[in-house]
Structure formats: structure tokens, C-alpha cells
Structure 1
Amino acid sequence: MPSNTPHRLFINGDWLASKAGRYSEVHSPSSGALLGRVTEATAADVDLAIDAAEQAFEQWRLTTALARANLLLKLNQLIERDRSTLAHTISSEMGKPLKEAQAELDYCIDLIRFAAENARRIEGDIIPGSRSGEQILIQRLPHGVVAGIAAWNFPAALLGRKLGPALAAGNTVVLKPHELTPLSGLAIAALVKEAGFPPGVVNIVTGGIEVGQRLVANPKVKLVTMTGSTAAGKKIMAAAADTLKEVRLELGGKAPFIVMEDADLDDAADAAVRSRFGNAGQICTSNERTLVHAAVYDQFVEKLLARIKRLKVGDPLAADTDMGPKVSAAELDKVDRMVQKARQQGARVLLGGERLQGEAYDQGHFYAPTVLDGVTTDMEIAHQEVFGPVLSLIKVADFEEALRLANDSVYGLSAYIFTNNLQYLMRLGTDLDFGEIYVNREGGEAAQGFHHGYGDSGLGGEDGKYGLDAYSRHKTVYLNAGRTRI
């Protein structure tokens, strides 16, 4: 049974209780069981964490890149040591199957490792000046205090995605896990302390909207990096304008999944299932619109349905579970409303289309793996992000129609295409308007890549050298030796 004592805030290297004494409860989305109680930070608590980060920054920015990297690698060793326990925590509070939670931790480790390995590769430039004997130095320096706000769908990886590069670049951080999944972040905070990071370099505060609002509003925060919904991202961007701080937003998506007439249909069907039903469809890069060429439509659907019917939905802590519950009752209701609205608008349910019921499901937020046929572009479900285990099928006549329908979206994060046609592939860079495109494979970005989107999918990006660049700012120094006056 969980302790009645709420988990405390991690501020300045110590565990602190809030003077307000407020806390929230964390429940399993699978069984409804109480997992723990977590302190809800007040604005004053958040300011205390930011002050600690600001004070720690004065020394941390002078710490060598190698020393910062070694601490990050030590943190990775501890995450690897506790991988089993951490995976259990992720599965319990978020609902993803254990095997997916373990894969998430592997990705978290990879993200932190990349940042650590590249801490000594943050480069500037030396270029000729406009005067005799002058050189221009363009340096890359840390921002200062970075606020990281994470979503609930990858509670460990998203913290690692922000913590790793921010610290590698010499910043200090205040991190906010999502209020639905705070236990993973607090477990990582304990490992930060064990790894020996100086007090104040990493701070983790828990709570809801008030915490995020104060992180954005506090003028001592110089960069906000947030992963979450597009609606929340727009509010953060507007609020950040008051203090003119930099903002990086990783938001929603409505990924098209294009299957052309020459595709390997077995590979495409396998990838479509993994992309749509992994993490119960709660991934911003998930296959949200499946655009299938008319010549192979029936064959593809047959293969697709056969694979989906084999998925085992249930307890995420069971070793053989393929798909767990939605993260909350509100998310479950949203998905069901969208499916029922699609039915009213003319879509046909080929599979699922309802909440799962029965002894194994009644206490959780389970939705049946669902396939909708006959989806058209005038339906709500063709444009709004579902973020759930619902695959919408759209038949297309040719490549031109596939491109047109794929680009008919306010989102521009990820897209998929299955084809070996060289002419199609050569047009992807110019004609498919998405930040990342997966060709003949399922999704899953690499730590050395660049995860970014267009339009309502966000600003800036994460991962790789381009993501690391965002955690530093430029300073230009005109270095004149003073030998000549011109």
C-alpha cells in the first residue's frame, strides 16, 4: 500500500514539503488503485526552486563540459540499474505495457547519453573581422535557468529529453512532470541526488496548471521547453511574451500514413499497427490518418484487421499485454466521443468502437482497438488529434491525392509512406509538409535525429545536435588587437 505521506518536492538537492500542505492522488489507469500522494507546489514553492537553480547556475556554468558529462553518465548508470523498478512505476501510473516502459527508459538513457557525449562538441565560430587584425568570435553560452514541462505519455523519456541537453550545455533546470504521472519524475529526482549533482542544478516540482504558469511567468527563467497539447502550448507562448523568454514547444500531430500501390503490404500493416496502437495510440507521432491506394486497399485492410485482432489488451504489468488503458477517464471519454461522432458522420466501424467491459476492464480506462472505414475529409476525426487506439482508413486514387489529403492539416509533425517508387520518394522533401518523415518503417525518433514539427505541431525541436543547439545562446565578440586604426 502507498504511504499516506505525500511525496515531497525536490528543491536545491533536498526533499521539501510545501507550506500550503496541498497534495493530489495518483491512481492506476488500469485498476483505479491508489499509487501515491504527491505534493502540489504553490507559486512560492516554484519560485524557491527557480531561485535555487539561479544560484546554482553561477558555478554550474563554469563547470567543465567533461565534468557535466560525467555526472549525466553517472545518472544513466543509475537509471540502468533501476530499470526494472522504474519501468514498473511508469506502467503503473501511465498504463503502457511493461515492455514499452522498458523501451522508454532505454530511449531516455540514449537521449541523456547523446547529450553527455556532445557536451564537449558545443561549437562556436571564429571569422575574419572587418578591420585589420580583428577577429569575430561567436560563442555558444548557456541561457541560465531552463524550465522543462513534460507530458504524461512518456513521463521518463520527456524529462530525459529536456534534462540531458540543458545540463550538457551548462544550464540549470526546474522540471515539472505532468500531474497524472509524477511518480516517474520523482524517482528520477532521487537518482539525480544519488548521482551527486550539485544542489540546485536539477529541481523537480509537482502539481498542476499553477506550477506551469509560474514557471513561465517567472522572469528568472530564460528558456521554457514544453511537451504537451497544442492548446497548452499556445497559452505558454502567449504568457512567455511578458518576459520575452525563449520558448520551445513540442505539440500535437495528425500524422498521415500513406500506403501506395507498390508497397510491401505486410511491412506496412505491421508498421501501421505498431504506430497506431503502441502506447494505446497516445503518441504525438502516431498514425492518425491511414491513406491507402485504391488498388491495394482491400488487401491491406484484410492484413491490418488480422493483426489488430491478435492484440492482447489488459493489465499493463502483465508480460504478454500488447496494449494498456488510456491514461485517464477524461481521455477515455474524449476518444469515445470522437468515435461516436465519426459514426454519426458516416464512418463504418470495422473493429472495436467501444469501451472494453468485463471484470478485467471495469476499474480501468480501456478502449477497444478500433478501425474506422469510409472516413472522409469533412469528418471531425480526419482533422482533430484522437490520441487513442483508433485507426481511420481513407481510400486514395493516386499519389497526388495522397499528398493533398496528407497536407490538409494544421499539424506538421510526422508522416509515413510505404513505397519504393523513386519519383514518389524524391518529392517527399518538397511536397510533404512535415518535420519528420518515416519511409517504409514505423515511427520512433532517434536520439541523434531532430524531432520537430511545423504549424500547430510546435516551435523549435528536440534531440540531436540541432536540439542541443537550442539550449545555448550566441554571444558575438569583436576581438581587436589594437595594432591598427582604420
Structure 2
Amino acid sequence: MNQPSIQHYPCYINGEWVNAANGATFEVSNPANAEVWATVPDCTEQDVKQALETSRTAQLAWQQYPAIERGRYILKLVEVLKPKRDHFAKLLVLEQGKTLAQAYGEFDDTLNYLTYSAEAARRLEGNIFPSDNANEQLWIHKVPYGVTLGLCAFNYPLALIGRKVGPALVTGNSIILKAHEATPVTASEFCKAVEEAGIPAGVINLVSGAGIDVSAQLVTSPLTRLVSLTGSTQAGQAIYRSSADNVAGLVLELGGKASFIVLADADVEKAAEAAVISRYANCGQVCICNELVLVADEIADEFTAKVIEKASKLIVGDPMKDGIDMGPSVTAQGLERVHRLLEESVAMGAKVALGGGRPEGDQFAQGNWYAPTVLTDVTRDMPVAKEELFAPIMPIIRVKDYFEALDITNDREDGLSSYLYTQDIGKVMHAIGNMEVGTIFVNRQIVGYVQGYHSGHKRSGTGGEDGIYGIENYLQKRAVYLAFDAPSA
């Protein structure tokens, strides 16, 4: 992969490009080769204060715009972004390590998120309920929170921005973006399009920081009225505690460990194909990825053989090249953690049926590489079965029936998503009513539609993103009891 010269990407506050008040920066590395290719500001308390204050001022004016006009600004942003598709796709590969094809898909999803939100401008609804008295009406009027904070994870640096910016802006909020420290460059480039689209200064601000200080200052500020986070459960718990004094609104989309249940009557070929796609997409770094296969004992040998066959054919390599199925993980620390979990599980009896470490070859000597891995003879008490992996490792557990699989799925403190392969409609309906997760994929691979709803149950979050319910989370309700004097005849 050709390594560009090191470039600096500033923050964007109140319509101006700024660096940290003290000049501090931090480095961004290419996950494919660990080489530094960019620097961004390591913002200070002074920078955060400026972002918050200008965001509040801008929001008070922004909420006075008719929703349809706010929507037009978002559509203008989409038009500005469209010709930059190649630029952003290559930037995503360089920054995040996903394949070029997946990067193009992320760019397209970003435009879909923004467009959907813009088109919702005429569908922001309140309610009128009957009053108990004559000459009176009861309205439920919906209003923006104010200053919204968008905390984005590293797995989709651009799409998560679109997922938060669109709903926040169309409902009359302003938003301060804080990208993950591993992938902050895309956010800076996104704000160039914000500037070009003419979105009023301060409506979208961007700060960056290498540690937790910047996020903590943003979350604890009394000016922040809504926090939207996509991240780990641990990060969500910290945000929950930090926002308590302000009693800020929360939209937390957190981690999980999706079980991939394959029952004895399933189409084994289709299930195996879906299991591989749903595990190794984006190098396993998707919160709703297949994290733990639970396969009926009767078909376990056949299913496992097909999974290993398909996973072994995945092409791992330079994600900037065509025909590559999987690139590197984003962070070295993440891979070190999951490899330790793998080794602990192997010591408990799990067997490495495929992969199990860094791929062979000079091109994989540097960077955050891990081969597509399949583990068999896994039991529910092993670390790979208990911990969210967020990596290209597929543990397989044999189960006796649907109810054992359901028990393993529900016997967790989180509940983000799950997969179910069966032809038994009774079991499908039972799962819909009893599986303690926010999303269930029935006889299909990983997917997410902009008109759906992406949310978690239990420790996987509160609130959610996408669709009409996602937009609803950026509005608060105001009850109005309106009494009036009726005219006399």
C-alpha cells in the first residue's frame, strides 16, 4: 500500500478551522502497516468550552428554522458529498482498514442516513388529545433537546456521523461531533463538506482528543442536553454515570454478543454462508456481527465443515485492492485482547480449526492483522463465549435444541442482536416474543436498513438509531394545556 505523507486535519468550531489552543496534536496510524499518516488536534478545555458555547448559540437560532428548511440544508450536504465518493472511500480504507468495497458501501449508507432524515422534515409529528373540559385542548408538542453530543465508534467513522447528524439537525438540535481517537480524520473531512454546504456556523462543531478528557468535559457540561453514543458497554456505563448530574438525555447503542442459532431443520448451506458473512464483515468489527454460533448437534459436523471451507477461502490482504474480503483490525490493543481470550479458551479445551493468529507472509508483518479463525469444542463458560470479541474469530458451540440456544442467548447482561436459522414458524414466533435482544435476524445474514430501528436491550443500550423511532429520540415532548374563550354567536 502506498503510504501518503503525514497530513494535519484540524477541528471545526463555529465555522472555523482550528487547532488545539496549546498546539497539541496526536497521531493517526494506518492499521494495515502501523505507519503514521496523519495528525489531529488534541483539544483542550478551552477548545471544548468554545465548541459548547457556540453550539448553544447556534442551536437557539437553528431551531427557529422551519423543519423543511433544515431538511434542505441536509440535502445540500448530501449533494456536496456525492462527488467525493472516491475520496471518502479511500480515506476510510486508510484510516479504518475496511476493504475498498465496504468503504464505498459505508459512504453510500451515510448519504442514505442523511437523506432519510432530511425527508422526515414534513413527518415530525405531535399529538392532540381530547381535553376533560370544554374550550380546551391538550397538545403534545415535540421540541429539540438543544446541544447534542455525537460520540462515534471506530468501526464506521463516516456512517455513524451521518446516522447522528441527520436526525439531530432535522429536529432542530445542534451537534458536537467527537470521533474515536483511532479514526478522527474522516470527521474532519466531513466538516469540509459541512462548510461547503453552507450549514450555519456552530450547528455542527467538531473536536478531537486522544484521551477521555475531551469526552468527559463534553458529557458533564450543563450545556449538553443529549448524548448519542455508539460504543462499548463500558463506555456507555461511564457516560450514564457522567451525565447523571445534568440528567441529560441519552441515546446509547452499546456492545453485545450476537448468537447465531442454527437448528436441525435449517438450510445448512445458506446458514453457513450467512454465518461467515455475518462474522467476518468489516473484520468482525460490527456490533451486530455473529459473535457465537449455537448449532444443533445433529447438523453440527456438516455445518462446521461448511463454515471452515468458506472461511478458508476468504482473501485477506491490502484493503485498497480489489477482490479483498478482509483487511486489518483497527487497533493493536483490540487484537492483543482477543488473542489472549483465545489462548485462555484453548487452555480450557477449545480447538483452533482455522486461523488462530497473524496470517503468514511479509505483507502481514506489520499492522493489525488476524486471520479468519474458527474455534470448535467451545463451551459456554469459555472466555470466547462470554466476552464480546469484535474480531474475526468464530466460536462454535454444539447445543441439543432451541431451548438450550435460547437459554445461552438470554443468559447475558447484554442483548443487542441474535440470528435464528429454522423453518419452524412456531420457534420463530417464540423467539420474537422471548429472545431478549433488540434485533433478530431470521434466516438471513447481517443487514441494517435506514428505515429500521437499531437498539439494544439490557446493557446493550437505551434509545436507538434509525427510522422514525430513531429520529424520535432526538426530540423531547412538551405538554400544552390550551384553554380559550369560545366566541359567542
TM-score bracket for this pair, using the shorter chain length: over 0.9
Q: Distance in 1 between matches of 2:125 and 2:463?
A: 19
Q: Distance in 1 between matches of 2:169 and 2:455?
A: 21
User: Which residue does 1:214 correspond to in 2?
Assistant: 217
Residues 214-258 of structure 1, C-alpha deviation per residue, up to 9 Å, x if partnerless? Answer: 110110110001111111111111010011111111110100001
Q: Distance in 1 between matches of 2:42 and 2:6?
A: 15
> CA shift at 1:4, angstroms?
5.7
Task: Look up the equivalent residue of 2:341 and give its one-letter code.
Answer: M
User: Which residue does 1:40 correspond to in 2?
Assistant: 42
CA contact (8 A) 1:149 1:227 kept: yes
* 1:365 match: secondary structure: coil
Is 1:382 aligned with 2:349? no
Q: Distance in 2 between matches of 1:425 and 1:247?
A: 32
Map 1:216-235 onto structure 2 (within 5 A): 216-235=219-238
> CA shift at 1:133, angstroms?
1.1
Q: Distance in 2 between matches of 1:409 and 1:271?
A: 23
- Cα distance change, pair 56–376 in 1 and its aligned pair in 2 (3 A): same
Q: Distance in 2 between matches of 1:439 and 1:139?
A: 37
User: Which residue does 1:72 correspond to in 2?
Assistant: 74
Task: Look up the equivalent residue of 1:229 and give its one-letter code.
Answer: S
Is 1:447 aligned with 2:447? no
Q: Distance in 2 between matches of 1:268 and 1:139?
A: 47
* 2:277 match: secondary structure: helix
Q: Distance in 2 between matches of 1:46 and 1:256?
A: 40
> CA shift at 1:275, angstroms?
0.7
Q: Distance in 2 between matches of 1:306 and 1:463?
A: 35
User: Which residue does 1:456 correspond to in 2?
Assistant: 459
Map 1:77-476 onto structure 2 (within 5 A): 77-208=79-210, 209-476=212-479
Task: Look up the equivalent residue of 1:268 and give its one-letter code.
Answer: A
Residues 94-143 of structure 1, C-alpha deviation per residue, up to 9 Å, x if partnerless? Answer: 11111111111111111111111112211001112121110011101111
Q: Distance in 1 between matches of 2:317 and 2:385?
A: 28
Instruction: State the aligned residue count.
Output: 484
Q: Distance in 1 between matches of 2:301 and 2:122?
A: 53
> CA shift at 1:33, angstroms?
2.3
User: Which residue does 2:480 correspond to in 1?
Assistant: 477
Q: Distance in 2 between matches of 1:318 and 1:124?
A: 49
> CA shift at 1:357, angstroms?
3.7
* 2:477 match: secondary structure: strand
User: Which residue does 2:56 correspond to in 1?
Assistant: 54
CA contact (8 A) 1:414 1:435 kept: yes
> CA shift at 1:3, angstroms?
6.0
Task: Look up the equivalent residue of 1:45 and give its one-letter code.
Answer: D
Q: Distance in 2 between matches of 1:196 and 1:83?
A: 20
> CA shift at 1:446, angstroms?
0.8
Residues 274-300 of structure 1, C-alpha deviation per residue, up to 9 Å, x if partnerless? Answer: 110011101110111101111111111
> CA shift at 1:188, angstroms?
0.6
* 1:118 match: secondary structure: helix
Task: Look up the equivalent residue of 1:471 and give its one-letter code.
Answer: Y
Q: Distance in 2 between matches of 1:60 and 1:195?
A: 15
Query: Alignment partner for residue 10 of structure 2, among 8, 11, 15?
Result: 8
Q: Distance in 1 between matches of 2:205 and 2:270?
A: 44
* 1:272 match: secondary structure: helix
Q: Distance in 2 between matches of 1:236 and 1:90?
A: 27
> CA shift at 1:461, angstroms?
0.7
Q: Distance in 2 between matches of 1:280 and 1:4?
A: 26
* 2:201 match: secondary structure: coil
CA contact (8 A) 2:253 2:464 kept: yes
Q: Distance in 1 between matches of 2:81 and 2:243?
A: 33
Q: Distance in 1 between matches of 2:236 and 2:4?
A: 33
Task: Look up the equivalent residue of 2:368 and give its one-letter code.
Answer: H
* 2:43 match: secondary structure: coil
> CA shift at 1:262, angstroms?
1.3
CA contact (8 A) 1:146 1:173 kept: yes
* 2:367 match: secondary structure: coil
Task: Look up the equivalent residue of 2:105 and give its one-letter code.
Answer: A
> CA shift at 1:354, angstroms?
1.3
* 1:391 match: secondary structure: strand
CA contact (8 A) 1:217 1:239 kept: yes
TM-score (norm 1): 0.98
> CA shift at 1:455, angstroms?
1.4
Q: Distance in 1 between matches of 2:381 and 2:27?
A: 40
TM-score (norm 2): 0.97
CA contact (8 A) 1:336 1:355 kept: no
Residues 2-36 of structure 1, C-alpha deviation per residue, up to 9 Å, x if partnerless? Answer: 56663211001110122211101111000122221
Task: Look up the equivalent residue of 1:299 and give its one-letter code.
Answer: E
CA contact (8 A) 2:358 2:370 kept: yes
CA contact (8 A) 2:7 2:37 kept: no
Task: Look up the equivalent residue of 1:136 and give its one-letter code.
Answer: L
Task: Look up the equivalent residue of 1:468 and give its one-letter code.
Answer: I
Q: Distance in 1 between matches of 2:131 and 2:5?
A: 64
Q: Distance in 1 between matches of 2:46 and 2:18?
A: 13
> CA shift at 1:395, angstroms?
0.6
RMSD over aligned Cα atoms: 1.3
* 2:228 match: secondary structure: strand
CA contact (8 A) 1:125 1:139 kept: yes
Percent identity at matched positions? Answer: 41
Residues 77-101 of structure 1, C-alpha deviation per residue, up to 9 Å, x if partnerless? Answer: 2222111110111111111111111
Unaligned runs of 5+ in 1: none
Task: Look up the equivalent residue of 2:301 and give its one-letter code.
Answer: D
Is 1:29 aligned with 2:31? yes
> CA shift at 1:366, angstroms?
0.4
